[in-house]
A and B are shown apart, each in its own frame.
Chain A
Amino acid sequence: MEYSEKVMEHFVHPHNVGKIDDADGVGEVGNAKCGDIMKMYLKIKDGIITDVKFNTYGCASAIATSSMATDLIMGQPVSEALKLTNKAVVEALDGLPAVKIHCSVLAEQAIKAAVRDYYDRNGIVYDEAQFHFNEAHEHGVEE
């Protein structure tokens, strides 16, 4: 197994690590039993993501995908962030080892969970299907 240079770069110097105390949406996915938990904090203004931070417990790939995913949605409209797929994150990282793909699924789910939290808090109606999590995350997503 080998990580790309991009993955190592984001693992060693991850972007957007931290918390946002007055976040507009927070999403947490994964579970301790499987060894991976990802938590995303979003600051949203006029439908645009103005700030994003993450906390992750997991492997190098989990940390790198969190970092890359936050980069990709920073400054984007919420509607665009919802379209972010784990595949796009993996590509941006120049690939992940096959056994590590599930860690990237977690990043996609964490963002979706945070957006859903934002919608719920603000009484915004949404289509449940948008949040239908990709079951490819082999660790399962029960909280």
Chain B
Amino acid sequence: MKVYADNAATTKISQTALDAMMPCFKEFYGNPSSLHSVGQDAFHAVRDARVQIANILNCSPDEIYFTSGGSESDNWAIKSTAELMAKKGKKHIISTKFEHHAVLHTLKYLERRGFEVTLLDVYENGIIRLDDLKNAIREDTALVTVMFANNEIGSVQPIREIGAICRERGVLFHTDAVQAVGHLPIDVEKDNIDMLSMSGHKFHGPKGVGALYCKKSIRLPNLIEGGAQERNRRAGTENVPAIVGMAAALKEANDNLEVNMKKLSEIRDHVIEGLLKIPYSRVNGDREQRLPGNVSMCFEGVEGESLLLYLDIVGIQASSGSACTSGSLDPSHVLLAIGLPHEVAHGSLRLSFCEENTIEEADYIIEQVPPIIERLRNMSPLWERLQKERGNA
């Protein structure tokens, strides 16, 4: 059996998205800035995609800026607001300890340029406390940026409440919703979001395309100088097929949102229950406030890279936050942020599902993982030591 369970890393493009893209290569291949009919067809395709995405997020089409993906949207939103607010003497930014590197490294960049950054604790369940946020907001706070849902452990933040606090205190609120768009209901109006990053390849759209939603009242500084694309803010001929594919994929995901959420939660909970039977295993991240397709667990005494490579051999594709997979000394900052000791974090496994996965596949995973863990534990001096410490050996 072949089970692709790494959908948080990226997804397979959907047939719907692919079908929507093909004419952009073959028929509407014109430049959207050209006045002739072939160009105008491309112009309309981009316009329609923008309207479609805006309708789903509940914003105006001219609040959507197309980008090359989640990383660009995060960089643009954060660096721009920082620049904008610094002029008003506001040089303090609030975020969390377990953001994606696209956010954390951008914040490091700003720190080197004189900004002060407060990273909120995410506690054991991977969710911030609203009181911490209230206490962290200062006179000179320029921006709050908190991810909608975490890419590794799947925990979902109380975005609407965070947004409400920011509104009340007059602070801009950006959310990296790369893992949430197409997977959770989002309404930028009701959720009090000023800026939102999204990426096409996380919901069966193409890679290398994304969008930034930015509320009209914010004067977003230009990202790329040049032509008049994206209302003069980001120059360059639009990636028409990718934009159209992303919109089609999002529409499909949104049309099936409830059904998919239900199905994925069932697969997720089934896998978690099955794998928790393995002794000395644990679930990372909140069990309730959680992405429907995310399973994140740790198994003591085993190392994640070996685990995921043995899984690949039996046809299961997953990921891990162990140090060995990152090629660095430390395991993932996300697992450390929720308080896991290094040696536990090294034994992490993330399985992320999409609606194409089935309960049969979940059963296959539940059948395949335990013998691999046992094999690795049998040759693990760490496991031997843990067993001795526990008096089990």
Q: Do these two chains interact?
A: yes
**A12 to B372 CA separation, bound complex (whole angstroms):** 11
Task: Report B302-322 CB contacts with A as 1/0, cut-off 8 Å.
Answer: 110110011001000000001
Contact A35 B303, CB 8 Å, known A138-B329, A139-B329: yes
A40 to chain B, nearest CB (A): 10
The one of A34, A37, A58, A139 that contacts B306, using a Cβ cutoff of 8 Å: A58
With a cutoff of 8 Å between Cβ atoms, the chain B residues found around residue A63 in the complex are: 306, 379
Q: Which residues of B contact A55 (CB under 8 A)?
A: 379-381, 384
How far is A12 from B306 in the complex, measured between Cα atoms in Å?
10
| Chain A hits for B329, CB < 8 A | 34, 138-139
B231 to chain A minimum Cβ distance, whole angstroms, is 41
Task: Give a binary string over A30-42; 1 marks a CB under 8 Å from any B CB, 0 the rest.
Answer: 0011111111000
A57 near B309: Cβ-Cβ < 8 Å: no
Write the chain A residue with the least CB distance to B342: A33
Asked whether B303 lies within 8 Å of A11 as measured between CB atoms, the reply is no
Q: Are A57 and B313 in contact (CB under 8 A)?
A: no
Q: Is B126 an interface residue (CB 8 A)?
A: no
Q: With an 8 A cutoff between CB atoms, is B293 at the interface?
A: no
Answer yes or no: A59 CB below 8 A from chain B CBs. yes
Q: Is B3 at the interface (CB under 8 A from chain A)? A: no
| Most B C-beta atoms less than 10 A away, residue of A12, A17, A54, A56 | A56
Chain A residues with CB under 8 Å of B303's CB are: 35-36, 57-59, 62
A37 CA / B379 CA spacing, docked (Å) = 11
Smallest beta-carbon distance B253→chain A, Å: 31
Residue among B302, B303, B323, B380 having the largest count of chain A Cβ atoms under 10 Å: B303
| Contacts of B86-110 to chain A: CB distance below 8 A | none
Complex: A1 Cα to B305 Cα, angstroms: 12
Q: Is the CB of B305 within 8 A of A60?
A: yes
Chain B at the A interface: mostly helix, strand, loop or mixed? helix
A124 interfacial contact with B, CB 8 Å: no
Tell me if A99 counts as interface (CB < 8 A to partner B).
Answer: yes
Interface size on A, residues (CB 8 A): 30
Does B301 make an interface contact (CB < 8 A)? yes
A108 contacts the other chain (Cβ, under 8 Å)? no
Is B343's CB within 8 Å of the partner chain A?
A: yes
Closest CB-CB distance, B376 to chain A, in whole Å? 8
- CA–CA, A36 to B323, complex, Å? 10
Does A56 contact B346, Cβ atoms closer than 8 Å?
A: no
Give the CA-CA distance A64 to B37 in the complex, in Å. Answer: 61
A28, CB-defined interface residue at 8 Å: yes
Taking the nearest CB of chain A, how far is it from the CB of B207, in angstroms? 19
Within 8 A of B (CB), among A3-34: 11-12, 14, 17-18, 28, 32-34
| Contact between A57 and B305, CB atoms less than 8 A apart | no
Identity of the chain A residue whose Cβ is nearest the Cβ of B326 in the assembled complex: A99
Q: Which of B338-393 contact A (CB under 8 A)?
A: 342-343, 346, 376, 379-385
Complex CA–CA separation, A91 to B301 (angstroms)? 29
Known: A12-B313, A57-B303, A58-B306. A36 touches B380 (CB 8 A): no
Indicate if B279 sits at the interface (CB-CB under 8 A).
no
CB distance from A29 to the nearest CB of B (A): 10
- Residue among B306, B313, B381 making CB contact with A39, cutoff 8 Å: B381
- Inter-chain contacts of B327 with A (CB < 8 A): 1, 99-100
Output the least CB separation between A90 and chain B (Å): 16
Contacts of B56 in A (CB 8 A): none
Question: Chain A nearest CB: distance from B349 CB in Å?
Answer: 14
Q: Provide the bound-state CA to CA distance between A63 and B306, in Å.
A: 8
* 12 A-B interface contacts by CB (under 8 A): A32-B346, A34-B323, A35-B303, A35-B324, A35-B331, A56-B381, A57-B303, A57-B381, A58-B324, A61-B324, A62-B303, A103-B324
